Amino acid sequence: MRDTIRFVRRGRIVEIGKFDPMALLIDHLRLTEGAKGTKEGCGEGDCGACTVALGRRRGDEIVYEPVNSCIQLLGMVDGTEIVTVEDLAADGRLHPIQQAMVDRHGSQCGFCTPGFVMSLFAMFHNTDGPTTRGEVNDWIAGNLCRCTGYRPIVDAAIEASAAPRDDAFHRGAADTAGVLQFLADDRDLFIGDDERFFAAPASIEALAALYQQHPTAVIVAGATDVGLWITKQLRDIPKIIHIGRVAGMNRIEDTGREILIGATASFAAAEPYMRSIDADLGELFRRIGSKQVRASGTVGGNVANGSPIGDSPPALIALGATMELRRGDRSRVIPLEDFFIDYGKQNRATGEFVTGLLVPRLREDQVFRCHKVTKRFDQDISAVMGAFRFTIDTDGVIREARIAYGGMAGTPKRAKGAETALVGTAIAESAAWSRAFAALRTDFSPLDDHRASAAYRADTAQALLGKALLEAAGTPTQRTRLVGQREEAVHAG
């Protein structure tokens, strides 16, 4: 058992043995270290002013990922290297990203600038050669510039990406990897006492035992949701169990017929696997949060929190995914759709936790589509999320339909009436479509809220089903979509 967290900061090991379980990384940086280049803006991981980079050892390499320090728990950075904007300049010279921001006048009031620089620093380390404007936009989708200075910032990023990937972090990667390897261990982490603690078990057996002992503890994977409980809801969370150190729980395995996603696998890690199932699924995962959110947030957490507007559950339900849960030394597997019972209520016993998901690949006779409708295109919560899988025989008859929506009920939910209306009919049979549209009106009774009205949700759900049916019947997406044509995505892949 270990009772301290350890991380690398500016080339040296920092060890901390006492802190509140809810302590946030940004507070440690600004208040304890005095590293105030990192700014706090929204306090919810939306504006990106607080962005820092975490370096982790992946194989023999160091991978730097951007994270929102305002919702990253301090205990979660154990075993990483923390890089802030103050660390980039070396030997009296600005980092290529910083220099390009100066040359291209990418900083205006300057409040957002450190966050942009750190997101682009991560881009600098995760790309090879010149990047496109679209790629840059994706890297900074989680950074808000209040002075509307995006053009010079993007220009700076494109210019810097053309420079050789040579900075102090590249040159020191071998040494950093060695230090992180030294810090890595298989000891359970527990800081605090039985009344108030931050714990990070190293094995699934230790996690199961600890959670049975403390069933009221909050399990945290990426904290992209729980972080807001602290910063916005002002909850007191005395017991936190972080599962990011559990060996093997972040695994992703492609068996050829299905993809196994461990509960702590991040969206960033899962995205290429999901894209290999279907182009729409890959685009959905790309639009979940921002680079910062996808680097920390997990697919398992997105399911386990039971949100009715979680982006991944409707798509995974439509694909027929199953999930594994564990309590003590016993495990069980259930269809993902059976996990969601009612708003805020899941099919999970006391002391039981999610260990992973199993996502089937599509068969040759299956067609999949999914669409996320939001007010903002990037980094926004769904007003309506629709996912559709049709099994179509050689005669064009729908043999099976799985239709799932988010944002239409208190849980992610299948449209059973619409499915029944389509099964056994020709994919291009307009009368069946009309029956399915009518059935949707009885499958769901959506609510009015600040994201959308009930009428808008009902109309949009019908439109998304119609779009999916049109495309499944052979209509090219150049006629059904404004952007992201599937034909181009499949050809490029």
Domain boundary among 344, 360, 376: 360
Average pLDDT over residues 361-389: 94
Domain that holds residue 256: 252-360
Same domain, 389 and 482: yes
Q: Is 381 among the domain residues?
A: yes
What's the CA gap between 234 and 214, in Å, rounded?
A: 22
Same domain, 312 and 350: yes
Q: pTM, whole model, 2 decimals?
A: 0.94
Beta bridge partners of 266: 298
Q: What dihedral angle (degrees, nearest 10) is formed by the CA atoms of 342, 465, 142, 151?
A: -160
Contacts of 385 (CB under 8 A, 6+ apart): 309, 311, 314, 315, 370, 371, 372, 373, 405, 406, 407
Tell me: pLDDT of 489 over 90. no
Beta bridge partners of 402: 389
Rounded (10°) angle between helices 267-277 and 279-286: 160
pLDDT tens string 184-196: 999 999 999 999 9
Contacts of 216 (CB under 8 A, 6+ apart): 239
Dihedral sign of CA atoms 330, 336, 340, 345 in order: positive
Same domain, 387 and 482: yes
Q: Is 312 among the domain residues?
A: yes
Report how many domains make up the chain.
Answer: 4
What's the CA gap between 19 and 306, in Å, rounded?
A: 29
Both tokens of residue 170? 């590249």
pLDDT tens string 128-146: 989 999 999 999 999 999 8
Domain boundary among 242, 270, 287: 242
Average pLDDT over residues 292-303: 96
Average pLDDT over residues 167-174: 93
Position 317 scores a pLDDT of 98
Q: What is the CATH number of the domain that holds 229?
A: 3.30.43.10
Position 272 scores a pLDDT of 97
Tell me: pLDDT of 492 over 90. no
Contacts of 334 (CB under 8 A, 6+ apart): 322, 323, 325, 347
